[in-house]
Chain A
Amino acid sequence: MDEEPERAKRWEGGYERTWEVLKEDESGSLKASVEDILFQAKRKRVSEGHGQVRLGMMRHLFVIIDSSRSMEDQDLRPNRLTSTLKLMEFFVEEYFDQNPISQIGIITTKNKRAEKLTDLAGNPKKHLAALKKAVDSTCVGEPSLYNSLNVAMQTLKHMPAHTSKEILVIFSSLTTCDPANIYELIKTLNALKIRVSVIGLSAEVRVCTILTRETGGSYNVILDESHFKELLMLHVKPPPASSSSECSLIRMGFPQHVIASMSDQDAKPSFSMSHLDSTGEPGLTLGGYYCPQCRAKYTELPVECKVCGLTLVSAPHLARSFHHLFPLEAFQETPLEEYEGERFCEACQGELKDKSVFTCLACKKVFCVECDLFIHDTLHCCPGCMQTDRTS
């Protein structure tokens, strides 16, 4: 983690024992450091999830953000709350980028209560605005895991069975103040097939371990800010759908964007349906998307039609979700010593220095660890293969 370029100033960093970083190889492999294990986990993530699995592409995700007293802790800069909210903004954008036909909702919990910040909705703007506003809120009291899960569950349980129902808890406190036995609630969540994942900001809490294990989610604890971001990004990818979730055909509308030409004198600016409930930014626009079923007008996609309830998306949106279904195959890992050939990464042109190199099985090009991760996480296609495709 020390090589992180955006690292905070030395004096801002926590108390650290630099000599321990040097120590790890002293007694051979016996003391495999945690970093090593983490590296393995990173790789595993890439190799996992490949192959033909059904993914829940239509996701309904509730993010529960702990806003209790412990969020004022300054181990993330400037404090946990600000840092979390900033990352959340990024997460929301990324989430909608990768899951255009999904929805998100945000819940905060403090003072033993849970409060819905935003309802489930498919448009990032509202969420981002709410997150920006939440930065100024104060952090007081204890969180209540029970209450917040309950609030999320009340909404999620009415969602159709073909969607993936998820809750992501960002839990900073080490305690929870619950009005009733949480294990009962976990059973109910399990029965409703709601998957709960937790990202812990301080340490492993037993109740979260059980919660995630029972509902099939994941539980991670952050090491520092960059790790936090990494963990959060894990939740951007759609999870595998449970085999029992039913298949059904879903009606969707693909409205065309219609812009009335300036020459057309009859064109009158009109309101978008999505502005009906929001008080801000009154937008009179000329063009927009028109629902193919009821002709209601919207300025942005994706959206659920307010009038007829049809899901309106654009074709590129669906296409973008596509790569999840046909992911790039994992590269073959070989130790550096065994690799013969030029020691240059095909992507970044840097020298191969890590202890293993990665070979694309299709085009036999070689990549370094960082590029391997970048290709699989972001590009979703092998640059080597693309090149050969073009030349041939």
Chain B
Amino acid sequence: MIPKLCYFLKLLVFIILNNLILKLKLNIDGLLVYFPYDYIYPEQYSYMLELKRTLDAKGHGVLEMPSGTGKTISLLSLIVAYQKAYPLEVTKLVYCSRTVPEIEKVFNIIYIFITHCIINSYFKIAFQIHFSSVKYLSFLALRFGKEVDGKCHSLTASYIRAQHHSNPSQPVCQFYEEFDAVGRQVPIPPGIYNLDDLKDFGRRKGWCPYFLARYAILHANIVVYSYHYLLDPKIADLVSKELAKKSVVVFDEAHNIDNVCIDSMSVNITRRTLDRCQTNVETLQNTISRIKETDAAKLREEYSRLVEGLKEANVARETDMYLSNPVLPDEILQEAVPGSIRTAEHFVGFMKRFLEYLKARLRIHHVVQESAPQFLKDIYEKVCIDRKPLRFCAERLRSLLRTLEIADIADFSAITLISHFATLVSTYSKGFTIIIEPFEDRTPTIANPVLHFSCMDPSIAIKPVFGRFQSVIITSGTLSPLDIYPRILDFRPVTVASFTMTLARTCLCPLIVGRGNDQVAMTSKFETREDFAVIRNYGNLLLEMSAIVPDGIVAFFTSYIYMENIVASWYEQGILENIQRNKLIFIETQDAAETSMALEKYQEACENGRGAILLSVARGKVSEGIDFVHHYGRAVIMFGVPYVYTQSRILKARLEYLRDQFQIRENDFLTFDAMRHAAQCVGRAIRGKTDYGLMIFADKRYARADKRGKLPRWIQEHLTDGSLNLTIDETVQLGKHFLRQMAQPFRQEDQLGLSLLTLEQLQSEDMLQKIAQIAQQA
């Protein structure tokens, strides 16, 4: 199983741009590009052309190209060639991907790509290893990143190290000391480093791989890491703020980038958070009073520093050193910390008051939704807290924790969260909403108050990225409709293009099933979703498909509840039993361990000829990260249109905001969101040109032009009028025919010249014309 710590995965790549052993040399618009394969797909060539244009214009781009057509390799080879040709224009490639398997995939491609280069990387798990090597900590089984963090901090913080000088018995981290002493002067040998390589390197040299990686990131030519290192303000501040301005940033699999942005800026506060915060405050208070007795000078020193203001940070920003942090607004940097929270006791008192206020707000029995200004007004009236001190809350807390020399910062996550909330709520009057729900909608009797401080504008989090880096490329297999991303992320792209897949045989077969054999319309529309006939028809569809599709079928439902209801009712009707005669059935649940178990068994069943069906949920783990290559997914069935749960208050607020700010109608956005998830789900089955699969959209609403038109172009292209609004019978006939045709032997020679080109073929005139048609400007 993939360890949970993967979240922390970060990979860096150094590349020496020489000694490339590559096979194809292409001339892309005057740029010499090395390509590591003998053949190239026409769409890759077209993609590189567009990419080159984007880089030339030093602007941002939105590019859609189907999965399995070699996006990553095209991106890498072009940008590296560009780096080589214009070393002053582009210094660094920052490649962000979403999940660990994807990052690893990129990594393997880099290995193929370059033989003589370096990667640098680190895993926080590196700490585990290096801690256990320190004897007296070896008994600690550190399982959570946070704990590791805290431990690390307690050994490497500057004051601890200062104490170590005077008192050698104070434990410090040998690895860090070593790195600090020599690591920065010695250049890292060029090469590709992934997590393990870096860990090995660190162990060999006796350097801390974590700090090594943070240092190395500044010198790497290619950095591969997760979105969060760039988008989440808390982490980006640590890791990415010193990245050079002349970098090219690529967001791969970016179809969900707006949600990542929103998540990184939103804060959820429950009663438990507040309770933990309460203890934090008490600890702070105790520490302060203790320090006051022993070392009052320290507190005084901090006070005067605060009077000076955060000038240091301001200077840094003006000289354009850092990626700006959206949690740290500009005004704060120019002003001194207000007097009311300057002394430590006053600040703690202030936090206490704020906390009490929040507690009072959570004690309500009805749902409240208000804007940030309303909240500020209310807080001023009730507990006389001004807007200004709130704004400085996050900075002030950080300063205090530093002054108090609290080593174990892991425990203070609750109060840090609250302070972030305070800063955000007072800084942004627009783009956020506060929703307090006393209970969950599904369990109205159990009190579980939650304060959602929800970001509605994804552009806030991503704005610094667009602002700082000269080129940002957003790319994915499913970005349609292309015009919506620039709108919701609020940026001006210079290129917007969608590429199709050139195929030697039509290996994808999208079918829209609208009716059952009894002509009853199939739809997951809210009014009819409980209808007996609809459920039965869905069951019949799956039953019929299970009889004709070999090996694996993946079926997606719109939600867990819907899936549970349908499966229960199939069981009662005996449909499930009939299906099981053909294939085994596995179900995705909300439990990650259970799901990965089911996945494993599913793959086994596909492998040994038993055949299996995986029932899963759109927007679930399976739909986002798992690929079903070849026999693992010969058919994907999408039961219903995966609309998001529209009754959610957060969503409603966001829709309203989109309408007011970006003139995007609610319905447009909802459809867009549903269709991108549907496309994502069905796209799981086709992972390359030799792959093939049926894509079945089982809802009559897909046949409508507004839905159909929002599918990616490479799917739409194969969706003829003849495959709309089919009955189950017709689907079975078409599917059978398709599967038989696809089972015919297919060799590389059949592709050559059509969907696979050699250099000579690429240079012919009419091929270049054909290529020009592949890219469609939006």
Residues of A in contact with B (beta carbons under 8 Å apart): 14-17, 19-20, 29-34, 37-38, 40-41, 70, 75, 142, 145, 174-178, 181-183, 200, 202-209, 220-223
Contact of A206 (CB < 8 Å), options: B606, B733, B739: B606
In the complex the two chains form, what is the Cα distance from A46 to B47 in whole Å? 41
Query: Residues of B within 8 Å of A, CB-based: how many?
Result: 40
Contacting pair B736 A204 (CB below 8 A): no
Q: How far, in whole Å, are A205 and B733 apart by their CA atoms in the complex?
A: 18
Decide: A203 and B754 in contact? CB cutoff 8 A.
Answer: no
Decide: A14 and B750 in contact? CB cutoff 8 A.
no
| Structural contact, B740 and A205, CB atoms closer than 8 A | no
Say how far A47's CB is from chain B's closest CB, in angstroms.
Answer: 13
What separation, in Å, do the CA atoms of A30 and B503 have in the docked complex?
A: 7
Quick check: A206 and B746 within 8 Å, CB to CB?
no
For residue B722, which residues in chain A have a CB less than 8 angstroms away from its CB?
17, 19-20
Q: What is the bound-complex CA distance between A317 and B631, given in angstroms?
A: 45
Interface segment among B126-134, B436-444, B546-554, B592-600: the answer is B546-554
Quick one: closest A residue to B611, CB to CB? Answer: A175
The minimal Cβ–Cβ distance linking A216 to chain B, given in whole angstroms, is 15
State whether A207 and B740 are in contact (beta carbons under 8 Å apart), knowing that A15-B730, A15-B733, A34-B505 are contacts in the complex.
no
B408 to chain A, nearest CB (A): 52
Question: Which residues on the B side are within 8 Å of A16 (C-beta)?
Answer: 733, 737
The CA-CA distance from A112 to B505 in the complex, in Å, is 36
**Known contacts being A14-B737, A202-B740, A221-B743, is A176 close to B750, with CB within 8 Å?**
no
In addition to A31-B506, A175-B611, A183-B608, 17 A-B residue pairs with Cβ atoms within 8 Å of each other are A14-B737, A16-B737, A17-B734, A30-B503, A30-B770, A34-B505, A41-B744, A75-B736, A174-B582, A174-B611, A178-B609, A182-B609, A202-B736, A203-B739, A204-B743, A205-B631, A208-B609
Q: Which residues of B contact A205 (CB under 8 A)?
A: 550-551, 609, 631
Contact of A37 among B505, B551, B737, B770 (CB under 8 A): B505
Determine the residue in chain A with the shortest Cβ distance to B607.
Answer: A206
Q: A-B contact count, CB below 8 Å?
A: 109
Contacts of A40 in B (CB 8 A): 750
B502, B505, B550, B631 — most chain A CB neighbours (10 Å) = B550
Q: Are A223 and B740 in contact (CB under 8 A)?
A: yes
Ranked nearest first, the 3 interchain pairs of A and B with the lowest CB-CB distance are A207-B609, A221-B743, A206-B631
Q: Which residues of A contact B741 (CB under 8 A)?
A: 34, 223
B754 and A29 contact, CB distance less than 8 A: yes
Chain A residues near B551 (CB-CB < 8 A): 174, 205-206
CB pair B739 A204 closer than 8 Å:
yes
What CA separation (Å) do A174 and B611 show in the bound complex?
7
The docked-state distance in angstroms from the alpha carbon of A177 to that of B607 is 13
25 inter-chain pairs at a CB distance below 8 angstroms, sorted by A residue, are: A14-B733, A15-B729, A15-B730, A17-B722, A31-B503, A34-B744, A174-B547, A174-B549, A174-B582, A174-B611, A175-B582, A175-B583, A178-B608, A178-B609, A203-B550, A204-B742, A205-B551, A206-B551, A206-B609, A206-B630, A207-B607, A207-B608, A208-B609, A221-B740, A222-B740
Across the interface, name the chain A residue whose C-beta is closest to B584. A175
A141 to chain B, nearest CB (A): 9
B634 at the interface (CB under 8 A from A): yes
- On chain B, the residues within 8 Å of A38 by CB distance are 744
Min CB–CB distance A385 → chain B (angstroms): 31
| CB proximity to A under 8 Å, residues B533-583 | 547-551, 581-583
Contacting residues, chain B, for A223 (C-beta < 8 A): 740-741, 744
Contacts A202-B739, A222-B740; is A181 near B733 (CB within 8 Å)?
no
Asked if A32 and B754 make an inter-chain contact with CB atoms under 8 angstroms apart, the answer reads yes
What 1/0 mask marks residues of chain B from 129 to 148 whose CB sits below 8 Å from any chain A CB?
Answer: 00000000000000000000
Supposing A15-B729, A200-B743 touch, asked if A182 and B548 sit within 8 A by C-beta, the answer is no
| Chain B residues near A19 (CB-CB < 8 A) | 722
> In the docked arrangement, what's the CA distance between A37 and B507, Å?
14
CA distance A31 to B736 in the complex (A): 20
| B664 is an interface residue with CB less than 8 A from chain A | no
0/1 interface trace, chain B 739-767, chain A, CB 8 Å (1 if under): 11111111000100010000000000000
CA distance A19 to B742 in the complex (A): 19
Interface residue B49 (Cβ < 8 Å from any Cβ of A): no
Contact, CB under 8 Å: A182 / B608: yes
Within 8 Å CB of B504, what residues of A? 32, 37
Residue from B582, B741, B742, B744 with most neighbouring chain A CB atoms (10 Å): B744
- By a CB distance below 8 angstroms, the chain B residues around A20 are 722
Bound Cα distance A40, B739 (Å) = 20
Q: Which chain A residue shows the least CB distance to B753?
A: A29
Cβ–Cβ < 8 Å partners of A202 in chain B: 548, 550, 736, 739-740
Contacts of A30 in B (CB 8 A): 502-503, 754, 770
How near does chain A come to B562, taking the closest CB pair, in angstroms? Answer: 28
B610 at the interface (CB under 8 A from A): yes
Cα distance, A207 to B550, chains bound together (Å): 10
Whole-angstrom CA separation of A37 from B755 in the bound complex: 14
Contact with A along B483-527 (1 / 0, CB 8 A): 000000000000000000011111000000000000000000000
Per-position 1/0 for B604-642, Cβ under 8 A of A? 001111110000000000000000001100100000000
Among A16, A142, A220, A221: residue with most chain B CB under 10 A: A221
Query: Within the assembled complex, what's the spacing in Å between the Cα atoms of A205 and B610?
Result: 10
CB–CB A174/B630 < 8 A: no
Q: Which residue of B lies closest to A141 (CB)?
A: B581
Whether B750 lies near A32 (C-beta < 8 A) is yes
Smallest CB-CB separation from B42: which chain A residue?
A30
Check A32 against B505 for contact (C-beta < 8 Å): yes
| A355 CA / B736 CA spacing, docked (Å) | 30
How many angstroms from the CA of A205 to the CA of B742 in the assembled complex?
Answer: 12
Contact residues in A for B547 (Cβ distance below 8 Å): 70, 174
The docked-state distance in angstroms from the alpha carbon of A178 to that of B604 is 13
Are B609 and A221 neighbours in the complex by a CB distance under 8 Å? no
**Cα(A32)–Cα(B610), bound, Å:** 33
Q: Which residues of B contact A175 (CB under 8 A)?
A: 582-583, 609-611
User: Which residues of A sit under 8 angstroms from B506, Cβ to Cβ?
Assistant: 31
